[in-house]
Each structure stands twice: as structure tokens, then as C-alpha cells.
């Protein structure tokens, strides 16, 4: 039997009185990689935010389960502690806190244990090297003054250091040059090698998926998943766009 990490049942959710997600169902098991694709404004980022419990969004129907526990009303930090991670389409700047401090604090919150500085430093330096991140970046303030592509790489560094059970990557590849796409996808591949880790990758660009193993592809239109298939669905979308799926809703 597969271990279910995340199960979303008949979810309606929205913001500012508007329902964005309608009757949405999704199940992610341990070790699976899911890809979420869909037109602009379909509700992809909203779904990621709702899974993570962003307070800007409210759930008006249905439920979200994490490993058989109902987490629909849990706070974001409580969900993160359970092993959930999200990289944002537009990463936040956090002045005053270095990348190194941020990741070490997050790791300690996750494990509930103090992590020795030397051991932490060795690990973060190795992860940074694998992602072609300059060592001096680690001491800079989180995302402040970094280019868009550099921020995405820093998010990959967080992913590899935190090793969450479920990582939601929202357009991690947008704005990356060809070499950076390769580096980031290698980072994701390294994450996938840990066989019980799950991924929900939101993307418009199938380039990043060329190097990755994908189990399921979901197409979301107007806040509902209208089609689920295997990785071959990506090719159909690349050739035909979302037009064939618009009538399904
Ligand atoms: N906090 C919010 N308040 C009001 N409306 C919102 C909010 N967040 C999202 N929306 C609206 O919900 C819809 C879905 O937005 P969302 O960002 O989830 O789309 P998306 O699928 O991620 O699109 P893209 O591919 O352009 O990133 C859009 O019409 C958007 O304007
Ligand atoms: Mg989005």
C-alpha cells in the first residue's frame, strides 16, 4: 500500500470573497512527483498557497489531510513543521537575516534540536557547491539584492538542506537561463533520489521536466483539475495547448 502524504477532498477555496478553487481533489503519495500545469490564472499558485495554509486564502468547503490527519485549519508554521515546503513564484526578501541563519533556524525548528554550527556549515557548503551557488552568498541577506534566477537557486538550496516530505515548487524555473535550468533540475533530481520524498511541481516550462522523473501530470482549468495523466500529457500540452481541455469544465 502506498503511504499517502497529502489528500485534498472536494476543496473550495478562495480569497477576498471570491472562490478560486472548485471541487478540487488531489492525492500525493510518498515518493511521487506530480506536475501541475494550466493556463495563467487557473489557480495553480492559489492551490500551493492553500496547501501551505497561507492566511490570505480561506477554505470554504472540503478538507486537506496530511498523513491521515486533517490539517485544513492548521497554521503555516505547523504545516512546515510536519514537513511541507513551498518555493514561491515571487520569493520574499527578508532583510536582516542571512541565508545561512534562515536555513539553520528552519532546520532547528523542523527537528526540534540544536544543530552544531560546524556540521551545518559543512552541509550547506556542499549543497551550495552542487547548485553552483557562490559560497559568499550564504552570508548575504535572504533574497535581498539577488537576481530572479539567483533567488530560485537559493530556494533549491533550502530544499536540499531541509529535505521536506513534500515540496511544492511554484515556477521554480521561470526566468532561469538554460544553464540554471539544468542546475536547478539537477537539484530537484538530487531531492528525488531520497525515495520517499514527494514533489508538486507547478510550471509552464517543460524544459525542467526533461531531466526529471514524473509520475503524474494534472491540468487545472478554472480552479478544477480537469485531466490527470502520465508524463506523456506534457507533450500533448506542448503541441495542442490547453484548448482541448477547456471544454472539459
Ligand atoms: N489573494 C488573492 N486575492 C484575490 N484574487 C486572487 C488572489 N490570489 C489569486 N487570485 C486570483 O485567482 C486566480 C488564480 O490565480 P493564481 O495566482 O492561482 O493563478 P496561476 O494558475 O498561478 O496563474 P499563473 O500561471 O499566471 O501563475 C486569478 O484570477 C487571480 O487574480
Ligand atoms: Mg502562479
Tell me how far apart the alpha carbons of residues 40 and 163 are, in angstroms, rounded to a whole number. Answer: 29
Ligand 1 surroundings by CB, under 6 angstroms:
15-16, 18, 20, 38, 40-46, 56, 89
Strand-pairing partners, residue 167, are 85, 199
Give me the residue spans of the domains in the chain. 1-17+32-75, 85-167+174-195
**Residue whose CB lies within 8 A of the most ligand 1 atoms, among 12, 39, 40, 45, for a mutation test:** 45
Share of the chain above pLDDT 70, in %: 96
| Residue whose C-alpha is closest to residue 36's, from 224, 183, 243 | 224
Residue 172 CA to ligand 2 centre (angstroms): 11
What pTM, to 2 d.p., does this model score? Answer: 0.92
For residue 43, the ligand 1 atom closest to its alpha carbon is: 18
Question: What is the pLDDT at residue 150?
Answer: 84
Cα-to-centroid distance, 118 and ligand 2 (Å): 38
Q: Which of 20, 35, 47, 218 to mutate to test the pocket of ligand 1 (most atoms within 8 A of CB)?
A: 20
pLDDT band with cut points at 50, 70 and 90 for residue 3: very high
CA separation for the pair 28, 249 (Å, rounded): 23
pLDDT digits (tens, 9 = 90+) for 16-27: 999 999 999 999
Residues 140 and 84: their CA atoms lie apart, in Å, by: 25
Mean pLDDT of 1-6: 84
Closest residue (by CA) to atom 27 of ligand 1? 40
Residue 246 has pLDDT above 80, yes or no: yes
123-175 pLDDT, tens per residue? Answer: 999 999 988 899 899 999 887 888 877 888 888 999 999 999 999 999 877 77
Given this model, what pLDDT does residue 2 score?
67
Instruction: pLDDT band for 10, please (50, 70, 90 cuts).
Output: very high
**CA 46 to centroid of ligand 2, rounded, Å:** 7
Domain 85-167+174-195 - what CATH class?
alpha beta
Amino acid at each position: 500500500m502506498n503511504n499517502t502524504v497529502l489528500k485534498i477532498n472536494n476543496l473550495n477555496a478562495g480569497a477576498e470573497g471570491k472562490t478560486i478553487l472548485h471541487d478540487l481533489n488531489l492525492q500525493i503519495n510518498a515518493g511521487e512527483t506530480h506536475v501541475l500545469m494550466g493556463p495563467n490564472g487557473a489557480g495553480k499558485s492559489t492551490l500551493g498557497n492553500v496547501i501551505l495554509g497561507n492566511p490570505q486564502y480561506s477554505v470554504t468547503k472540503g478538507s486537506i489531510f496530511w498523513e491521515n490527519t486533517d490539517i485544513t485549519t492548521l497554521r503555516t508554521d505547523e504545516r512546515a513543521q510536519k514537513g511541507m515546503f513551498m518555493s514561491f513564484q515571487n520569493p520574499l526578501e527578508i532583510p536582516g537575516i542571512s541565508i545561512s541563519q534562515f536555513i539553520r533556524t528552519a532546520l532547528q525548528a523542523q527537528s526540534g534540536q540544536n544543530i552544531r554550527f560546524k556540521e551545518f556549515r559543512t552541509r550547506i557548503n556542499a549543497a551550495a557547491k552542487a547548485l553552483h551557488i557562490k559560497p559568499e552568498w550564504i552570508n548575504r541577506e535572504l533574497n535581498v539584492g539577488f537576481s530572479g534566477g539567483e533567488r530560485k537557486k537559493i530556494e533549491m538550496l533550502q530544499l536540499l538542506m531541509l529535505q521536506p516530505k513534500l515540496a511544492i515548487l511554484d515556477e521554480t524555473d521561470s526566468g532561469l537561463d538554460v544553464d540554471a535550468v539544468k542546475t536547478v533540475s539537477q537539484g530537484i533530481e538530487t531531492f528525488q533520489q531520497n525515495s520517499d520524498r514527494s514533489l508538486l511541481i507547478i510550471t509552464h516550462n517543460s524544459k525542467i521536466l526533461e531531466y526529471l522523473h514524473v509520475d503524474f501530470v494534472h491540468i487545472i482549468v478554472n480552479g478544477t483539475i480537469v485531466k490527470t495523466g502520465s508524463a506523456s500529457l506534457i507533450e500533448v500540452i506542448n503541441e495542442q495547448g490547453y484548448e482541448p481541455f477547456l471544454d472539459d469544465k
